[in-house]
Amino acid sequence: MIPVSSPSIHLTLMLDALAGVQRAAEAHGDVVMHRIGRTRLVQVTHPDDIHTVLHARWPVVKKSRVVKGLADIVGDGLLTADGEAYTALRKVAAPRFTPRHIDGWARRMGAIAASAEAPVGEVDVLPHLTSLTLDLLVDTVFGTDPGPELADALGCLAVLLDDFQAQTYSWQRLLPEILTPGRVRRRHAMKAGLRSAVDALVARRTRRGPGGDDLLGSLLFGEDTADPETLYAHLLTLLVAGHETTALTLGFALHHLASRPDAVERLRREAWAVGGVPRCLADLQAMPFARAVVQETLRLTPTVFGMGREIVEPLALREHVLEPGMQVVTPQWVVHRDPRWWADPLAWTPERWMEAAERPRYAYFPFGGGPRVCIGNHFALLESVIVLATLVERVELSDPAPLALRPTLTLRPADGVRLTLAPRRQQRSEVA
């Protein structure tokens, strides 16, 4: 019998998902069930069990009901598709995320990051980072520019996702959703604006014609051209998953770095050793501390704080059997902070990644795992290091405000990422 969490933990889970999953793990161990209305949600936090769910037995699970519910907003793309549909979508997209293609994008990423004006003063750095990562994604993966419509449309998307989050992850889940005529019209208008912006993106890339190494070009002109609905779902999924998540990771990294000037200096010197900013994957390999900064940020403040699945066939997990229809959550928030696998787990310590350590494979899984591991994980890592190397060369970081985290579909800062940035006086050319 799977232990069932207490009513007080249920309430905590509805009010604060991070505190809820942490309390449940501390009170009940590695496998615990939450009964939320009619939903049976099984929380799994041991790396070996996570390996079973995400990797070893992945054909007997599918995306969770929560994720499938997103299809109404983002369509049936890589984020929401299952089975043969998912396999077909990944087969088309995967060739554009191989090391060879990512290596070719690195120099352009560096040029865009270097040309962006760095924020200065006491600011929330997240809007700057979100705009920058959108420019990087659209240039490299879509082979065009964002255009004036996309930023407004993504604002509408954020509102739609916030609505979805409120109905899914909060106490509102226990109540029926009330859709007034005005709310329905508002949602339809937002979705129409989003569709129009993505169509404009496609039109700009179509005018360029064949050629180039971007994913959108291959979907429009390659051997496996996509129908309009599949194309829309592909692009929207990549927009949702491919720029805000990286911007959040970068914001959290800058927050942590602002309290560690020694780490900032070490990152700078690694960048100087490869010419100021990495321009290829080989440069990234030559910057182990910069990679460690990103890895440690994704450990302590994982942008994706929990991954959901639904059981399709009976699945044995230790002495338990998970039944079809059960929902499963594997919370990175808990596993990445487990003292069984991590020394001083609540400290941001990138140095831990510079030494070999024995820990289970799924003690760390910021990009998921198994056949459904995030297709853009290497892209995101390279992009993050490029942006961090560019920024710390141009500004000094200080005075980070306390970081209040808000679990939505991703882990977001409730009040932004506020810190002080001042232009640097000493440049690389002046350093012996």
**pLDDT at position 188, please?**
66
**pLDDT at position 298, please?**
98
- What is the CA angle 48-49-51, rounded to 5? 65
pTM as predicted: 0.91
CA atoms within 13 A on the CB side of 128: 21
d(CA 208, CA 144): 8
**pLDDT at position 161, please?**
65
Euclidean distance between the first and the last CA atom of the chain, given in angstroms as a whole number: 66
Please answer whether residues 386 and 285 qualify as being in contact, where contact means their C-beta atoms are separated by less than 8 angstroms.
Answer: no
**pLDDT at position 339, please?**
97
Please answer whether residues 80 and 236 qualify as being in contact, where contact means their C-beta atoms are separated by less than 8 angstroms.
Answer: no
- 121-124 and 418-423: which strand pairing? antiparallel
- What is the CA angle 201-107-375, rounded to 5? 60
d(CA 364, CA 336): 6
Q: Determine how many CB atoms are found less than 10 A away from the CB of residue 385.
A: 26
Residues of the chain with pLDDT under 50: 171-172, 174-176, 429-432
- Residues shown for the chain: 432
d(CA 64, CA 69): 9
List phi, psi (to 5°) of 394: -100, -20
| Token code pair at residue 19 | 């505190």
d(CA 68, CA 50): 20
The CATH class for the domain spanning 7-430 reads: mainly alpha
**pLDDT at position 145, please?**
84
Please answer whether residues 154 and 137 qualify as being in contact, where contact means their C-beta atoms are separated by less than 8 angstroms.
Answer: no
**pLDDT at position 402, please?**
95
**pLDDT at position 312, please?**
93
**pLDDT at position 175, please?**
47
| Token code pair at residue 152 | 């407004």
Burial class from Cβ neighbours inside 10 Å (0-12, 13-18, 19+) for residue 84 reads: exposed
The string of DSSP letters for 199-254 reads: HHHHHHHHHH-S-SS-HHHHHHHSSSPPPHHHHHHHHHHHHHHHTHHHHHHHHHHH
**pLDDT at position 166, please?**
60
Please answer whether residues 107 and 279 qualify as being in contact, where contact means their C-beta atoms are separated by less than 8 angstroms.
Answer: yes
